[in-house]
Homo-oligomer: A and B are copies of this chain.
């Protein structure tokens, strides 16, 4: 009976994580759209920031619940780590979006668009993987794809940086784009961190 009483509460964690993953993927899609329709950038930044705030609230809710609950469906430290890593992804997506405004970027580069596209695909894998924690099956394929995307992102980043120092005469443009490419690259890296936490959870519960 004690177990039964806890079931709805256990389910809640999965719901929270699914919701977070959904917001993160949505923010990635908004970033990619923003880079395609850059004349409406400010509106996209506002919408991404809104999703980022919702993830902050979800993280806060998860941590609060975690500290008031004795029994959790997955280990406490894994719940904490997963919430933290998911939050890092959207923080960096939000940071990339808002910095393009702060830096008064006039035109988004082709490489930045490709990086945003990698983030869209990596966060889609996160959505699928998070949805499968509950049944703990079929996650492996998503980890493999996320690692592949991280390599794809790495190649893009290295090319972008090399090209940046080749092409640009204007140091201020170099400063801005170096920072933007790095932020986009770090978003992809954080998706890999999410995959690593999910893999640890999967193995423990195997």
Contact = CB atoms under 8 A, between A and B. Distances in A.
A108 interface: no
Interface in A125-173: 158, 161-162, 165-166, 168, 171-172
A165 B196 contact: no
Interface string A61-99: 001101110000000010000000000000000000011
A192 to B, nearest CB: 10
A104 B162 contact: yes
Contacts of A199: 63-64
A200 interface: yes
A204 interface: yes
Contact of A165 (B102, B158, B178): B102
B166 A104 contact: yes
Given A158-B98, A165-B102, A196 B67 contact: no
A206 interface: yes
A41 interface: no
A141 to B, nearest CB: 17
Given A199-B63, A200-B67, A175 B171 contact: yes
A49 to B, nearest CB: 11
B165 A104 contact: yes
B63 A162 contact: no
B67 A103 contact: no
Contacts of A103: 161-162, 165
A4 interface: no
A66 B78 CA distance: 14
